[in-house]
Amino acid sequence: MLGILESRIRDDGIFGITTRLMDLEGEDAWEGSYDLVVSSMTLHHIHNVPRLIHQCFSVLKPGGTLAIADLDSECGMFHKKTELVYHEGFDRSLLKREFWQAGFGNIRNCTAAMPVKPDCCGDLRCFSVFLMTGQKNGNGDRPQSVRKPVEL
């Protein structure tokens, strides 16, 4: 997948984007400092999601953004049972709380796509994919007085 993204970046003449293949669950500290960290359809394969979100916060520059696109909660039909999957999608309000606990502000989410694909049994099914973004505040620290997010 990174090769496809790198080809598109090169073909479109886009500069200033770095792709990186990483062990997202390894113990090594992440290196670098970034304006934007993007995860697309990866989070449901990660065992320790809160740790990953905290890692993303730690490498973002002040004012930087984390953007995650992944499955809304579903009943386990997206993947074949042989694939390594830790989560059957996500409840957006619970994930928003993880963003907040990691220190992100300006947390937003929306439905990003409604792909139709064969489910684990081979039947066509529509799945919901969300996009959630959060921003590291301008001085790089978690705000001192942060109120718990209110769900409406």
**Residue scoring higher pLDDT (143 or 125):** 125
Tell me which residue has tokens 């049972």: 81
pLDDT in the model for residue 142: 59
Are 124 and 116 in contact by the 8 Å Cβ rule? The answer is: yes
Tell me the pLDDT tens digit for each residue of 14-44.
888 878 777 767 777 778 899 999 998 888 8
E-assigned strands of 80-147?
Answer: 105-113, 116-118, 124-126, 129-135
Question: Position 129: which residue type?
Answer: V
- Convert the pLDDT of each residue in 83-93 to its tens digit: 677 777 889 99
Fold of 34-135: Rossmann fold (3.40.50)
Q: Looking at residue 14, what is its pLDDT?
A: 87
pLDDT in tens, 37-61: 999 888 888 888 999 999 999 999 9
CB 90 within 8 A of CB 108: no
| 75 or 102, greater pLDDT | 102
Using only the alpha carbons of the chain, give its radius of gyration.
Answer: 16
The alpha-helical segments, DSSP class H, found in 30-148 are 49-59, 92-102
Please state, rounded to an integer, the average pLDDT across all residues of the chain.
Answer: 84
Q: Is the pTM of this model over 0.85?
A: no
pLDDT value of residue 152: 47
Is pLDDT of 73 > 70? Answer: yes
Q: Are 30 and 55 in contact, with CB atoms under 8 Å apart?
A: yes
Q: Quick check: 127 and 75 in contact, CB under 8 A? A: no
